[in-house]
C-alpha cells in the first residue's frame, strides 16, 4: 500500500468537498464538528481503556475509526483556512524538539546541563 503525504490527503479531501455546492462550512461550524468528533473519540477510548464499558445496544466503533474522523475534519478545517498541514507539522516538531527536548526523562540519558 502506498503511503500518502499530508499534501496528497489535503488535495483528496479538497477534491471531495469541491463536488458539493455547500463547499466548506464556516470555521465555527467546523470547530463544532471537530469537537463532536473528538468527543466520539474520547467516548471510544473510554469504552476500550476506561471504566465505562459500551452498552450492548451501542454500535461497534473503533478508536481507529474515530481518529480517522478527527483527522478528516482537521484536514477540512485546514483546507478551508488555507493552512498547509505539512508546514504546520514541521513547525510544531521544531518547537517540541527545542522547547520540550528535556521535558521528560530521555532514553539517551542526556539532560539540559549536558548541552552547552
- pLDDT digit string (tens) for 47-95? 988 887 878 787 778 899 999 999 999 999 999 999 999 999 999 999 9
User: Whole-prediction pTM value?
Assistant: 0.83
Tens-place pLDDT, residues 27-36: 999 999 999 9
Strand positions, DSSP E, the chain = none
C-alpha cell at position 9:
490527503
Domain ranges, ordered by start, for the chain:
6-101
Q: Which residue has the cell 478508536?
A: 63
At the fourth CATH level, the homologous superfamily of domain 6-101 is MazG-like (1.10.287.1080)
C-alpha cell at position 33:
464538528
18 SS3 class? helix
Fill in the DSSP letter of residue 20: S
31-51 b/e with 16+ CB inside 10 Å = b? eebbeebbeebebbeebeeee
Amino acid at each position: 500500500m502506498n503511503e500518502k503525504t499530508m499534501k496528497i490527503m489535503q488535495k483528496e479531501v479538497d477534491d471531495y468537498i469541491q463536488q458539493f455546492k455547500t463547499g466548506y462550512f464556516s470555521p465555527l461550524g467546523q470547530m463544532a464538528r471537530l469537537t463532536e468528533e473528538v468527543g466520539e473519540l474520547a467516548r471510544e477510548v473510554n469504552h476500550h481503556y476506561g471504566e465505562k464499558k459500551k452498552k450492548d445496544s451501542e454500535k461497534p466503533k473503533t478508536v481507529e475509526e474515530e481518529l480517522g474522523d478527527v483527522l478528516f475534519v482537521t484536514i477540512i478545517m485546514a483546507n478551508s483556512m488555507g493552512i498547509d498541514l505539512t508546514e504546520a507539522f514541521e513547525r510544531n516538531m521544531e518547537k517540541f524538539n527545542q522547547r520540550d527536548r528535556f521535558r521528560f526523562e530521555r532514553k539517551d540519558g542526556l539532560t539540559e546541563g549536558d548541552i552547552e
